[in-house]
Amino acid sequence: MQDMLSMIYLWLKAGHIIFMVFWLAGLFMLPRQMIYLHPASPESEESALWAKRMGLLRKVILTPSIIVVWILGLLLAQTVHAWGEGWLHAKLLLVVVLSGFHGYLVAQSKKMAAGKRPLSEKRLRLLGEVPGILLALIVVLVVVKPF
């Protein structure tokens, strides 16, 4: 039985890491696409092209990845009985923040696709750094388990 749980754990872990990479790649790409859309006239062909690309990124990469990451992550925590661990609580908090950031970016990208420009290019460049900072903190928590 323990061998079976070990195998399930390794598959869950591999899937979690793979889809986390997809998710973060999408979160790095979306602000960049928004920067490219920013100077385009709302009614232009270029604007329509970037809006389409952002929609595909959300539909094909971001939405499926966040769902799979959450499901596999919760299953991993259950499999190793990590619910009482402080590092897991901190990680979950940061993943909730990252998920909220994901939702914020999606909302802003939809506004931009509709022709609005609610964020400056400078702000978009700064927002592009957020996933990397959160990723670094999450990886330290998972690998080092400081508490």
Q: Is the pLDDT of residue 2 over 90?
A: no
Mean pLDDT of 101-125: 97
Report whether 145 belongs to an annotated binding site: no
pLDDT of residue 31 exceeding 70, the answer is yes
- The model's pLDDT over 69-92, given as tens digits with 9 standing for 90+, comes to 999 999 999 999 999 999 999 999
**With 70 as the cut, is the pLDDT of residue 1 above it?**
no
pTM exceeds 0.75: yes
Q: Which amino acid is at 138?
A: I
Give the sign of the dihedral formed by CA 123, CA 126, CA 128, CA 130.
Answer: negative
The three-point CA angle 142-143-146 to 5° equals: 75
The average pLDDT across 98-119 equals 98
* Predicted local confidence at residue 6, as pLDDT: 75
Domain ranges across the chain:
2-144
* 91 in a labelled binding site: yes
